[in-house]
Amino acid sequence: MNMGLNFSNMRRRGCLYGIIFVFIPCTILIVVIGTDYSSEQSMSQRMAEFQMRMQYLESMYRTKQEDVAILSQYLRYVSLQAIGSISAMMSTRSTYKTNMSSAANLDMLDGLSEDSRSLIRNATIVARLMESLKLPTAFHFLPHLLDDSASLQPSYIESKKRQGVSMVLGIPTVKRDKQSYIVETIDNLISNMDEDEQNDTMIVVYVGEPDLTYVKGVAQRIRLRFGSFIDSGFLEIIAPSISYYPNMNNLRQTLNDSLERVRWRSKQNLDFAFLMAYARSKGAFYLQLEDDMLTKRGFITTMKNFALEKTAKKESSSWFVLDFCQLGFIGKMFKSADLPWLITFFQMFYNDKPVDWLLYHMIYTKVCSVEKDAKNCKQEMAKLWIHYKPSLFQHIGMQSSLRGKVQKLKDKQFGKIPNFYPHRNPPALVRSGIQPYKSYTLQKAYTGDSFFWGLMPQPGDLIEFLFKQPTIVRRYLFRSGNIEQPSDRFYNTTVEVLPIDGLTGAPIVSYNVTKDGFLVVGSFNNNGIAEGTIDSKIGKLKEIRLHVYSDSQNWVILREVIK
């Protein structure tokens, strides 16, 4: 029996298993959840999407091949250890004839085939043939990871193990001295996707803090607001192990930066690498975001169409990054198959430069020649780093995650942030005792012409929507406040409905009932949002209203009304 041939067969068998377990399910997945295309879309775009899917599948297959190779090497090691032990036993057989345990082992050896005994006799020769080259890994650049076997495992994870989407949005978040924007950022992203976009998208929130108590607090806040999205697999939350980070006090001070700034940017590089490594198996494209930004309605479809358009054109098909924001690392989109390049580059140079500089230098290294001038370099880089205008993302945070740093940067290409989004609502009479400011009336908010801006609400104030015809309402959504006036929102305010059939029948007794016969179906949360569904058993409604129960020191803005 030839040992080398045996392991060669094992590798081929491992690759075959990789094909079975990766390509077949993923092929079925493409067929099942493949995007519907309108007749206007070109064949080239369809081919471009197929190409992106194939690159994603190939990268997943390579991952399986790596697993097979590592397993093969491990089995070789174990086999050689076993062969060495057996050889030692055979060489000392005469010495331990009186030992019953050894005799039992030798009896087992007698049961081996002649080929196996021959293989054992030639173990030394086999060992020499099996020496293989060891390539550098992440452990060479981050040797501290070897100190803990769990260093690359998340210390916290909420996941339904969803995969196969088109777009994965990665949002790193860290502790800030003052205000956190993570909940508002997630809410803005979700509210600017339609149902089809949500079905082909995932959000991964990375809490880059070693303090597990803090991590769980952030996760609890996110789950409180977006629990249904976590349960569906649309939203995931992860955090790294404390042993993932090196000793930040031992970092080299580079670029004449203070040690605090070097710690901050070095940690950010490692955070991005961890998040990318986790997210790359989940979708065809990966989009890097931050935890304090806004976007525009339909941004997912816009980005996907732009990516397919560039992929379909020969001169831009080799793009490496599509840039949907001019600031920092916000809105940078990559093919998931290309992420290993970035991950490795960040690991190698995490202590040297900021993350956005590393992205620039990596692309510079790929295409710029020392024998060409700066103009040629810029032209070549533009083929790999393609900008989209106008920008789809805007930075809103004022306090940087770096202590003491004020971040006032704004992307001028983003344009004006919408103060409201119009919706089609059933005909209704609207009224309220809250006085409107200038022309920002409740009627205009309901019809989608503007938003409602009212003076300070008082206890007992109502905002009423009386339907002209009894109406079945399946879902409601009221958003108060906006980016410019975030405190002008509803506090201690409930959503109440009046069924046309009154309170007769058992199905509705689980709701609290007001003195005048309204059912309390929801309330505004701490973010100024009231959202929910109404049980179909309630039937048609005469009216839906907002009921204020406490004083407010602020005015109130109602910018979205959906029925």
Gap between the Cα atoms of 140 and 176, Å rounded: 32
What is each CA distance from 327 to 293, 379, 416, in whole angstroms? Answer: 11, 21, 16
Residues 348-391: tens digit of each pLDDT: 999 999 999 999 999 999 999 999 999 999 999 999 999 999 99
User: Which pLDDT band holds residue 108 (cuts at 50, 70, 90)?
Assistant: very low
Q: What is the pLDDT of residue 482?
A: 84
Which residues are CB-neighbours of 483 under 8 A, at least 6 positions away? Answer: 294, 396, 417
Q: What is the pLDDT of residue 459?
A: 96
Residues 174-228: tens digit of each pLDDT: 998 777 889 989 999 999 999 999 999 999 999 999 999 999 999 999 999 999 9
Residues 399-440: tens digit of each pLDDT: 666 666 666 677 777 877 777 878 889 999 999 999 999 999
Q: What is the pLDDT of residue 102?
A: 43
Gap between the Cα atoms of 211 and 213, Å rounded: 6
The predicted model gives 525-535 an average pLDDT of 89
What is each CA distance from 481 to 70, 491, 524, 540, in whole angstroms? Answer: 54, 11, 12, 30
**Residue 458 near residue 541 (C-beta atoms within 8 A):** no
Which contacts (CB < 8 Å, 24+ apart) does range 88-91 have? 90/120
Lookup: tokens for 186: 């997630």
Q: What are phi and psi for residue 110, nearest 5 degrees?
A: -65, -25
Gap between the Cα atoms of 384 and 399, Å rounded: 32
| Top-confidence residue, 162 or 126 | 162
| Top-confidence residue, 35 or 387 | 387
Burial (0-12, 13-18, 19+ Cβ within 10 Å), 482: buried
Flag whether pLDDT at 64 surpasses 60: yes
**Residue 119 near residue 3 (C-beta atoms within 8 A):** yes
Q: What is the pLDDT of residue 109?
A: 44
Lookup: tokens for 148: 């803990």
Within 10 angstroms of residue 172's Cβ, the number of other Cβ atoms is 21
Residues 297-341: tens digit of each pLDDT: 999 999 999 999 999 888 888 999 999 999 999 999 999 999 999
Our CA angle for 188, 189, 195, nearest 5°, is 115
Predicted TM-score (pTM) of the model is: 0.73
Q: Which of 161, 414, 190 is nearest to 300 (CA)?
A: 190
Q: What is the pLDDT of residue 207?
A: 98
Return the HEC string of 412-452. CCCCCCCCCCCCCCCCEEEEECCCECCCCCHHHHHHCCCCE
H or E element at residue 171: strand 165-173
Flag whether pLDDT at 95 surpasses 70: no
Beta partners for 496?
A: 520, 545
Residues 71-87: tens digit of each pLDDT: 665 566 566 666 666 66
Place of tokens 């001038």: 373
- What are the E-state strand segments in 281-440? 283-288, 293-295, 321-323, 332-335, 385-387, 393-395, 428-432
Gap between the Cα atoms of 481 and 495, Å rounded: 17
| Top-confidence residue, 563 or 501 | 501
Q: What are phi and psi for residue 172, nearest 5 degrees?
A: -80, 140
Q: Which of 337, 359, 546 is nearest to 459 (CA)?
A: 546
The type of residue at 200 is: D
Residues 230-284: tens digit of each pLDDT: 999 999 999 999 999 999 999 999 999 999 999 999 999 999 999 999 999 999 9
Gap between the Cα atoms of 426 and 446, Å rounded: 9
244-279 CB burial, b ≥16 within 10 A, e <16: bbbeeeebeeeeeeeeebbbbbbbbbbbbbbbbbbb
Within 10 angstroms of residue 230's Cβ, the number of other Cβ atoms is 20
Q: What is the pLDDT of residue 134?
A: 75
Gap between the Cα atoms of 260 and 119, Å rounded: 60
User: Which pLDDT band holds residue 45 (cuts at 50, 70, 90)?
Assistant: confident
**Residue 259 near residue 247 (C-beta atoms within 8 A):** no
What is each CA distance from 27 to 2, 19, 200, 234, 378, in whole angstroms? Answer: 37, 11, 16, 21, 39
Residues 459-508: tens digit of each pLDDT: 999 999 999 999 999 999 999 998 778 889 999 999 999 998 766 554 55
Lookup: tokens for 360: 């620039």
Lookup: tokens for 259: 């040690």
Beta partners for 285?
A: 167, 335
DSSP code at position 399: B
Beta partners for 387?
A: 323
The conformational region for residue 369 under phi > 0 = left, psi -120 to 50 = alpha, else beta, is beta
Flag whether pLDDT at 1 surpasses 50: no
Dihedral sign, CA of 439, 445, 450, 452? positive
Q: How far apart are the first and last CA of the chain?
A: 74
Dihedral sign, CA of 395, 399, 404, 410? positive
Residue 122, CA atoms < 13 Å, CB-side half-sphere: 13
